[in-house]
Amino acid sequence: MRKTALLILTVIVFHLLTFGQQEVTNANGQEIVLLKDGTWIYADSVPFYGIKATPISKLEIPKTNSRDIIITHTGFALLYNETHEQASWVAYELTKDETTKRYERTDKFIPDPKVKTGTATDKDYKGSGYDRGHLAPAADMGWSSTAMAESFYYSNMSPQTPSFNRGVWKRLEELVRTWAIENNSVYIVTGPVLTANLTTIGPNKVSVPNYYYKVILDYTEPGIKGIGLIIPNTGSGALLQQFAVSIDSVEKFTGIDFFPLLPDEQEEMIEKTVCIQCWSWKSVAPTSEKEENKTSTAVQCAGKTKTGDWCKNKTLNASGYCYLHELQQGNQNNTETKKPKTQTQKRSSSVQCSGITKAGSRCKRMTYSPNGKCSQHGGD
């Protein structure tokens, strides 16, 4: 018996060294998948391991109707939502080769010339307290100077809280690039969850979403798989696994039908299942709280001076406020710059509270508090 087991093990090791990842059958007739790192798993424990991929053009494009106008750029396609002045979805394939950055960020935000009805502009975001958050990340477009420039179109922007855009959303973008490298390529659809009665900013009434989503499809054999993530538009230090859901769940939450070009049986199987262990989750937690609250690109401070003018300082703080004006956004953790309440001055005019309710939406109360929040959300 021991000789038989030794012989089987020798055959397995031979296959592994000679061919890399292989399927073999053990002494009990069970299929085993041999992995390149020397480990193995039972083949029937891997969802969709037996699915065969077939070439499908524009696989990343969600289902559309005859009235929808899909706008195609060098690195991504999108469906623009005129009501909310941003894209309902942005879709693209990201290959391993495309994760190699060859061109730097342009940081030149401009209207999308292909959106005939017009997009948001600088005026909509200026002074709003929200970041111009990329849907298709600029870092995913570094393989082409044109793709990089087009990633700064306002059709690819959505109002995101600074702590979300520069924190958990950035971590997710970095993780998806890791998945593209590990799986050779992935198909990505991402966007805001657009619903009625959202808070708006600017003269064009750009909606501020409460949630954002990403759905990712690895359609490369072996081990084809898909996953969805839904994240509130607020800062979070939680592990990204905690936001993972099935693609079916994202479809129900957004009303969008993803990957409709997949064969029906494959689409049903892939989209109803979420397999956390099928994906790597390397470097998904921030290295430190300080790193989570910093951004690599300086932005103009969102604070106001005593004369009522916008502060001209640049800051790396995720809050969007420089050290002189952190008090205006109610940074409860900063004890060095916080002044006693007796020294604070009320605003000359009321503003909408920047706090977030338990339901995940922006508070609708007005406040004169210098930190921009009403009494229920930590106002001064």
The separation between the first and the last C-alpha atoms of the chain, rounded to the nearest angstrom, is 78
- Give the per-residue pLDDT at 241: 94
From the candidates 15, 73, 84, 134, which is the catalytic residue? 134
E strand or H helix at 163: helix 162-163
Distance from C-alpha of 250 to C-alpha of 232, rounded to nearest angstrom = 13
Residue ranges per domain, the chain? Answer: 2-45, 70-278
Q: Which residues contact 205 (CB under 8 A, 6 or more apart)?
A: 85
Q: CA-CA distance, 175 to 121, in Å (whole number)?
A: 30
**How high is the pLDDT of residue 283?**
53
Cβ atoms of 231 and 169 within 8 Å: the answer is yes
Has 377 been annotated as catalytic? Answer: no
The Cα 238–Cα 243 span in angstroms is: 9
Write the DSSP assignment of 267-297 as a string of letters. HHHHHH---GGGS--TT-S-S-HHHHTEEEE
Return per-residue pLDDT of the chain as tens, 380 residues.
Answer: 544 444 344 333 333 333 344 556 666 676 666 655 566 656 555 556 667 888 999 999 999 998 999 999 999 999 999 999 999 999 999 999 999 999 999 999 999 999 999 999 999 999 999 999 999 999 999 999 999 999 999 999 999 999 999 999 999 999 999 999 999 999 999 999 999 999 999 999 999 999 999 999 999 987 899 999 999 999 999 999 999 999 999 999 999 999 999 999 999 999 998 888 889 997 544 434 444 455 555 566 777 777 777 776 766 666 676 656 666 664 433 333 333 334 445 555 566 667 776 666 666 676 777 777 776 767 76
Residue 179 has phi, psi (to 5 degrees) of -65, -35
Give yes or no for a cis peptide into 222 (omega within 30° of 0): yes
Question: Which residue reads 């490298």 in tokens?
Answer: 181
Question: How far from chain centre, in Å, is Cα 257?
Answer: 18
For residues 49 and 224, what is the distance between their CA atoms, to the nearest angstrom?
6
Could you tell me if 344 and 331 are in contact, meaning their C-beta atoms sit under 8 angstroms apart? no
Architecture in CATH of 70-278: 3-Layer(aba) Sandwich (3.40)
191 bridge partner residues: 213
